[in-house]
Structure formats: structure tokens, C-alpha cells
Structure 1
């Protein structure tokens, strides 16, 4: 059984789960509240309204709500295997457990991508309502929004790898959820220290914080640097994902 066949099976397993409604909750809540609070300060002459709304909506979302929702998705995906000893049945088949783990991780990435798309669509709808209500005629910066949503997606990948590794290493859902939540909560504090670069849970939030700095600073000089962030993030992603893949199903195979 090859990778794509396993991937198809994994999507079939979660087809009837509650994951799809779940990924709508966080974007709708954060966008609606963020834009509603900010739009009260708008005037018809207000400039950069879309950028201001995006940063306002993204801060809370990237630091907390997006990681929280992805933690629940991780548990729901693994829960399909723990029910009725499903993992034992899968490993009894002539399949490679490493490939199976990668297929499950790809399902997680798909739902992360889907949530980012939902966030973008909900934000555009709410933004149109806010700008039209306040009489702002600023053009929708679609490429700007797509670019930043893509950056948020990419910076979440190392965090997703860590979440998946914790979910694999700690079999009990309560323990894996608790540990992941414990690591998410101090993200905004770590982002204000030099240790942010080795703390994947704050990567997306730190990126938004940097965009806020660029938006408000008079000089406009970017504070987010790809070096040494990119090599560190890529290395962490590969190492942690390799750990999750090699440890997946190891206990059941004994």
C-alpha cells in the first residue's frame, strides 16, 4: 500500500468527524470581534484600513486560537486510531508505519491549510462589511492578504510538527492536550525574548507582532529576519517530524 492510498484512507477516516465545523469557530470568533472593535475608530478618510484590520484580527488568532484548534484536530485524528484498537488493526496490515504517520501528518496540514482559507474568506467578508458601513473606499489588497496568510501557514508548520510529536509520544489525549496547551500559553511572553527562535509555538504570532511593528513604526524597517529564523525553523521541523514518524506505533509493534 503506497503513500497516496494511505492518505486516501486517512481522509476517509476523518470524513464524518467534527473537524470541519471546528475549524470555522476560531476564525469567525476572532475576525468578528477584532474587526468590530477596530471599525469603531474608522473614518471615511482612514487609510490602510485592511492592514489594520488584518493585524488586529491575527494577533490573538495566531498566538492562541489557531494553535488551540490545531491541538484539538491532532487529538481527533489520533483518536480514530485509538478507538477499538484501530492502530493495531492498521499495523497488522502490510503497511509501513512511517508512511502511515506521514499520511496522518499530511491530513493535519490539510486541515491547517483549510483553516487558513476559512480565516481569509471570513476576514474578507467581515472587512467588506466594516469598510462599507464606515464609508471607506480603500481597495481590497487581496495579494497582501494572501501573502500574509501564506506566511502564517508556513510559520505554523514547525509548531504542527511539535504538536504531532507530542500527540504520538503521549498516548493519553488528556496528557497530550494538557502539555500542548501548556506550551501555547507562554508563547506571547517567549516572543518578546531572544528564545523565540527556538519556540515554534510563537512563530506565527511573532510574525504578526513584527508586522504590527512595521505598521506603526515611522521608519518602516522590518524587524523580522529570515536569517537565522529559516534555518532554525527548517531544522526543527525536520528533526521533530522525524521523531514523530519513527516513534509512531512503536509501542504497539512490540
Structure 2
């Protein structure tokens, strides 16, 4: 079976689950709160950031720092549990299918779901900003291409984090333990971005990037630069090592 066929099979399995509804929850929460509290952004002008930029950045800070990693935790567990609940994984592994290929197909499903959620975040920005603009008689809209660029960047820099969460879900067969460890890893994110070794904690990459963007938009907040070295080599190392370990151990316990 080709990789694309295997990916298609894995995707069809998820259509019967409620995982797609889960993608909507964090996005709705973020933008509902953004519309309700849009007036707070006017007070950010003393920091040198315009209300429209603040509306965008503050919403994406909440998403990148909490909602996105939490969503990934839930999605990884649901993907790994789709077959374990009915021992479907045993049936899949009994077929002439490479365990490595199956593991990578499931990880690509995870990346696809993450991309879908970020896309929903992008699309939902526009009705949210229009409602806020009408409510407070102020134009909160910023350049859509800039919003799209940030969403694309958010996806790319979240891949190392996704690989870590996928490894955790493969290592831990107990979904409660996997969710617990995953959600516990969200707590240190704010602390990690304020250390010089932030690049050693992939869960903070999304929030670190959005925070850097906020400082570039706010005149009075100072600079918050991100050095690509050693960040990029470390991020790539985390991704390949986590996926390598996950592929090496995927299905070994079930085969026994």
C-alpha cells in the first residue's frame, strides 16, 4: 500500500470521530473573547501598538500560548486511540504494511488537522474583526496577507511541538496519562520564552514567535529578537529525533 493510500485510509477513520468538531472549539473561544473584550485593545496604545494590531496579536497570543498546544495534545491522543479502542491497530499491523509508514501517515494526519485548525483561525479572524469594528465604530482590520503570513509561520514552527506530542502518545498507551503530561507541558511555556534557552522547549515556539511579532509592532515594548541559530538546528533535531523514536517503537507492544 502506498503512503498516499495509507494516508487516505487514516483520514477516513477520523471522519467517523468528533475530532473535527474539536478543531472549532479553541478557535471559537479565542474569537468570541476577542470580540467581547475588543475595547481593551484601545488601552494598548500607551505601549505604542495600535488597537487593530493589538486585536490581532492578543488573540493569536492566547491561541499560540494555550489553545494550539492543548488542541495538539487532544488530537494526538484521539488519533492514537482511534484503533486501540477496538484493537484495530492489531488488524492494521497484521497487514503487509510498514509500521514506520503507518506511524508517519498518522503523524501527517496530525499535521493536517493542525493546518486545518490554523486555517479556521485565519478565516474566523475576518467575521470577528468585522463584528468588533461595528461594535466599537473602529476599523480593527489589518492586512489579510500579514495575517496569512503569521498563520503559515505558526504552522511551520509548530511542527517540532507536534512531533513531541506524537511521541508522547506513542510511548504512553494510557490516554489519561498522555493528556495529563501533554497539558502539563503547556504550563511552563510563558516561563520558557523568558529564558535564554527557550529554543530547548519546542512547546514555546509558537508563543515565542507571536511575542516577537508583538514587540515589533509595539514601539514602547522594546525588541524581542529571535536568533535563528541555534533555534533552527535544535528545532530540526527535536523533530527528527522524536519522529525517529516514534517510528522505531510504533506497534512494537501490540505485536508482542
Aligned to 2:164: 162
Provide Cα deviations, 1:62-95, integer angstroms capped at 9, x if missing partner. 1111111111111111111102211111000000
TM-score by structure 1 length?
0.93
Structure 2: stretches of 5+ with no match in the other structure: none
Structure 1 pair 133–168 and aligned structure 2 pair: CA distance change class (3 A): same
Superposed counterparts of 1:17-166, under 5 Å? 17-42=17-42, 48-137=50-139, 140-166=142-168
Take 2:133 and 2:180, find their aligned partners in 1: how far apart are those partners? Answer: 40
Take 1:223 and 1:27, find their aligned partners in 2: how far apart are those partners? Answer: 28
Deviation (angstroms), 1:35: 3.7
**1:248 aligns with one of 244, 247, 250:** 250
TM-score by structure 2 length?
0.92
RMSD between aligned alpha carbons? 2.1
**Matched residues, number:** 253
Structure 1: stretches of 5+ with no match in the other structure: none
Structure 1 pair 129–251 and aligned structure 2 pair: CA distance change class (3 A): same
Take 2:32 and 2:78, find their aligned partners in 1: how far apart are those partners? Answer: 26
Take 2:187 and 2:221, find their aligned partners in 1: how far apart are those partners? Answer: 32
Structure 1 pair 231–116 and aligned structure 2 pair: CA distance change class (3 A): same
Take 2:92 and 2:247, find their aligned partners in 1: how far apart are those partners? Answer: 15
What SS does the aligned partner of 1:184 have?
A: coil
Take 1:78 and 1:146, find their aligned partners in 2: how far apart are those partners? Answer: 30
Take 2:88 and 2:103, find their aligned partners in 1: how far apart are those partners? Answer: 14
